[in-house]
Structure 1
Amino acid sequence: MDEVKIGEILLPGDEAEQGRQSERVRRRFWPVLKRAMRQVPFSRDLVAAYYCALDPATPTRVRGILLAALAYFVLPLDGIPDVFALVGFSDDVAVLTAAFAAIRGHIREDHYRAADIAMTDEPETRAAR
Structure 2
Amino acid sequence: MIEPIVLKAIIVGALGYFILPLDIIPDLAVGVGYTDDLSAVIFALFQVALYVDDGIEIQAKGKLKKLFGENVDTSDIDSKLKN
TM-score band, normalised by shorter chain: 0.5 to 0.7
Length, aligned pairs only: 53
State the percentage of identical aligned residues.
35
Q: Which residue of 2 aligns with 1:65?
A: 10
SS of residue paired to 1:73: helix
Q: Give the alignment's TM-score, normalised by structure 2.
A: 0.52
Gap regions ≥5 residues in structure 1: 1-58, 114-129
Q: Give the alignment's TM-score, normalised by structure 1.
A: 0.35
1:83 paired residue among 25, 28, 35:
28
Gap regions ≥5 residues in structure 2: 68-83
Q: Report the Cα offset of residue 93 of structure 1.
A: 0.9
User: After superposition, what is the alpha-carbon deviation per residue over 1:48-92, rounded to whole angstroms, capped at 9, x for unaligned?
Assistant: xxxxxxxxxxx3221100001111111101110112232110011
1:95 aligns with 2:40: yes
Q: Which residues in structure 2 correspond to 1:18-33 (within 5 Å)?
A: none
Aligned-partner Cα distance in 1 for 2:30–2:22: 15
Q: After TM superposition, which residue ranges in structure 1, 4 or more long, deviate above 4 angstroms?
A: none
Bigger radius of gyration: 2
Q: Which residues in structure 2 correspond to 1:1-129 (within 5 Å)?
A: 59-104=4-49, 105=52, 108=60, 110=64
Indicate the structure whose relative CO is greater, using CA pairs within 8 Å and at least 6 residues apart: 1
